[in-house]
Structure 1
């Protein structure tokens, strides 16, 4: 690693060849000097990915391809091991960085040296003037959600504290990522970014939304937002995230609402013909709790965040999740 290298940008690809060039060319066009960042692309055994062709087309980018589809969590962890810089910037292949995104993130690192995790602002690539996400929120009842999704772009959005960052466009200090052992590889895909953020929060870390760091994001371009695949892992991983991370004092207050909200969502999915998938996912989660209990012990043993403080960070208004409300809190000193 050279002294000038500050950022390792990681892109995990899966059947993404239709939009990967636009993603990479946006990253190459950053206003930050090229020596300040590297780009690492790892592919999850895509049918449309020709490794040698990509290397020839973009010789200044590192490309690697796995023999099997390892999933988003494992692939990002492996890519992080390949990366060299002190900051890891995670970008989805269907997210297209504005030219000054890295410049804005570099400014945030200078302005907030005590912060180790940052969220970029996601604009909709399909609907001009609409948000795709302004960081991730966490309901007190254990449901994560992308804040601001579908909202009109506000005239002013301040730098502020959000619960966690969406994995489509985020930055995390390498040493924190390693301290957390990266994404939970049992999650495979979905909720792994919210889980990472939750665990960071429990260690006393903060996450800031940097509205000047922007990407245009298609979202669910490969797998589909409400596909059977997404439903299965969404239900399973959300329950695992809640059981693994929620301290007992908070769980006593929120377990019954969590159960009731889960039932309500399952009824809604059952009415659209997805009930069997939802039920099977919950069953899968509950019958594989041994490793979750072990992880919970480790997380709660090292937890530094007090339960009372966590209660203040969580979102209590159920309307926020249904309306995708923005819950950006004033920056604490």
Structure 2
């Protein structure tokens, strides 16, 4: 009998005691037989670690000496593991007993599949897709991320419209499956991202090395979302705008990156003015700070990213139109309403 691949489900925790209490029992009820569950703690100052030690002696705890964010925290914890597959799972995710098996089966069928995600529904309303990942992630021509099942603030009801597994552009960090060999090949997550879009960067680097990113429709998890930083938090705004520009610089061919980033600066300026009009000056200032950071670090990001020849620029999953135009002007609120130009 063929031995099942060894899987590590790794939950990165930072002051998430309430989420651990609520959702860790579901993870421990997983039916995959060759499984280890690890909690990596980013220097929490609540009672998370003592709670785990008292109630879950079977779970390995890896403690970081400070909060390294999503990227740095996972890099340090996963460097200690030698499993065949890593599953990066948010602490605010409810899983079903057989959630792991379909994803591993899908990834085992094709050596070129490096990463994958399950269907992600809302934990508070299990008929709706969840904002962070839904049925798989895509990027538009200007680098704006969106998902099947969620475009901007429009979230679809799950009516089995995305019940076929397929290739996507990026997999959500809320429930992110990756082969260890590919994680090591890419040197993990870029720690300069700290949090937000680091999984998109990793997926894009994988795609530019001819690997596939998949959505597995046969597995479903339920995500609370926004557990660490709320949607309107200025720091979250800063990270999203900053990291999106870095993402483009690192992964696009240089000429295309220059053109797209120039246009994005103007589009970001419109977002800045909208925040001001909405009475949110801190969010507007966050966009300005993101631009300053990006300009000051252009040389740094150029040095750490290799130039990508045109023939290795993987466009599979990139939407050739503008999701902003289609959503706000053409009133196309669902993925299926977009022209199939991926």
Taking the TM superposition and a 5 Å limit, the aligned residue runs for 1:315-326 are: 315-319=320-324, 325-326=334-335
Determine the structure 1 residue equivalent to 2:6.
6
Residue 266 (structure 2) pairs with residue 260 (structure 1):
yes
CA distance in 2, matches of 1:233, 1:166: 16
Q: Is the 8 A contact 1:95 1:218 kept in 2?
A: yes
Match of 2:160 among 155, 158, 163: 155
Determine the structure 2 residue equivalent to 1:310.
315
CA distance in 2, matches of 1:324, 1:257: 23
Determine the structure 2 residue equivalent to 1:138.
139
Measured at CA, do residues 315 and 217 of structure 1 come closer, stay the same or move farther in structure 2, by a change above 3 Å?
A: farther
Q: CA deviation at 1:324?
A: 6.7
Tell me the number of residue pairs that the alignment of Structure 1 and Structure 2 aligns.
323
Residue 266 (structure 2) pairs with residue 275 (structure 1):
no
CA distance in 1, matches of 2:288, 2:43: 30
Measured at CA, do residues 50 and 248 of structure 1 come closer, stay the same or move farther in structure 2, by a change above 3 Å?
A: closer
CA distance in 2, matches of 1:179, 1:95: 28
Spell out, residue by residue over 1:54-83, the C-alpha distance to the aligned partner (whole angstroms, 9 max, x if none): 123111111122221111100111111122
3-state SS, counterpart of residue 17 of structure 2: coil
Q: CA deviation at 1:276?
A: 1.4
CA distance in 2, matches of 1:77, 1:321: 36
Determine the structure 1 residue equivalent to 2:303.
294
TM-score (norm 1): 0.88
CA distance in 2, matches of 1:77, 1:207: 20
Measured at CA, do residues 234 and 281 of structure 1 come closer, stay the same or move farther in structure 2, by a change above 3 Å?
A: same
Determine the structure 1 residue equivalent to 2:226.
220
Q: CA deviation at 1:325?
A: 4.1
Cα RMSD between the aligned structures?
2.5
Measured at CA, do residues 325 and 264 of structure 1 come closer, stay the same or move farther in structure 2, by a change above 3 Å?
A: farther
Structure 2: 5+ residue stretches without partners: none
Measured at CA, do residues 103 and 314 of structure 1 come closer, stay the same or move farther in structure 2, by a change above 3 Å?
A: same
Q: Is the 8 A contact 2:253 2:310 kept in 1?
A: no
Taking the TM superposition and a 5 Å limit, the aligned residue runs for 1:240-251 are: 240-251=246-257
